[in-house]
Amino acid sequence: MGERILDREFFDRPSPEVAPDLLGRVLVHGPVAVRLTEVEAYGPPGDDPASHTYRGRTPRNSVMFGAPGHLYVYFTYGMHFCANFVCLPEGMGSGVLLRAGEVIEGADVARTRRHRPGTAAALTGPGRGIPERDLARGPARLAVALGIGREHNGLDCCASPGSPELRALEGDPVDPTAVRCGPRTGVSSAADIPWRFWIDGDPTVSPYRKHVPKTRPV
């Protein structure tokens, strides 16, 4: 596994270029390491209606307008955190959502983090009921497995000298012939843009779910 930390130049590119290049890279946070198997690209303001930056800078999305290689963490559905890497030069507002991965180190810690009272896992003990492939399968699960929360919003993953708190390592880049792309999951705008990238046949890739508008009962 390549141990070199990805530099800022790696992220200083359009997100649809960075996204497939992140597959096979490894994120390390404390004792847990996750090999990325699925990601989604989101474009800059005015270009991508599905992006958090589409309407410009706000207090919530301001990190996405910072330097490339920083972590943008947001809270969704009132219960989940999701993590993104900022792309393009400062002020551009683009990023890549980290959708899924394979836990390759620290699986026991990841299982403990995934365990929550009242869940199915709680019925069989801390994390025992969670299949290996599901530990980081989906953006919220990936964030939980890596221990990423609100306090990591704005974290510089390319910091030097020394190792940053969360490191994105070179890992083992995927052969381009094994990369697939398709519509992004669960977005209501620009849903057909094929900016979701994944490793073909990898069991940790999350299932595709098309956005379904919520309807109120008549």
Exposure string of 174-194, with b = 16+ CB inside 10 Å and e = fewer, is beeeebbbebbbebeebeebe
Q: In this predicted structure, which of 1-15, 42-56, 94-108, 118-132 has the lowest mean pLDDT?
A: 118-132
- Show the beta-strand stretches assigned E in 65-121: 71-76, 80-87, 94-105
- What does the pLDDT read at residue 116? 60
Q: Is the pLDDT of residue 123 over 50?
A: no
Task: With cut-offs at 50, 70 and 90, classify the pLDDT of residue 200.
Answer: very high
Where is pLDDT greater, at 173 or 115? 173
- What does the pLDDT read at residue 122? 39
Give how far the C-alpha of residue 68 lies from the chain's centroid of Cα atoms, to the nearest Å. 15
Where is pLDDT greater, at 157 or 190? 157
Sequence-separated contacts (24+) of 198-202 with Cβ below 8 Å: 198/23, 198/37, 198/38, 198/39, 198/99, 198/100, 199/23, 199/24, 199/37, 199/38, 199/174, 202/37, 202/38, 202/102
Cα–Cα distance measured from residue 144 to residue 40, given in angstroms and rounded to the nearest whole number: 18
Q: Is the pLDDT of residue 159 over 90?
A: no
Mean pLDDT, rounded, for 106-132: 68
Q: Is the pLDDT of residue 177 over 80?
A: yes
- What does the pLDDT read at residue 194? 95
- What does the pLDDT read at residue 215? 56
In the block, tokens 């801390």 appear at: 126
Q: Read off the pLDDT of residues 8-48 as tens digits, 9 standing for 90 and up.
A: 999 999 999 999 999 999 999 999 999 999 999 999 999 98
Task: With cut-offs at 50, 70 and 90, classify the pLDDT of residue 212.
Answer: low
Chain mean pLDDT for the chain: 89
In three-state secondary structure terms, 206 is coil
Dihedral sign for Cα atoms in the order 141, 145, 149, 152:
negative
The pTM (predicted TM-score) of the whole model is 0.88
Report the first-to-last Cα separation within the chain, whole angstroms: 56
Spell out the domains of the chain, with CATH numbers in brackets: 2-199 (3.10.300.10)
Q: In this predicted structure, which of 111-115, 179-183, 198-202 has the lowest mean pLDDT?
A: 111-115
Give the tokens for residue 184: 């992004």
Q: Is the pLDDT of residue 99 over 80?
A: yes
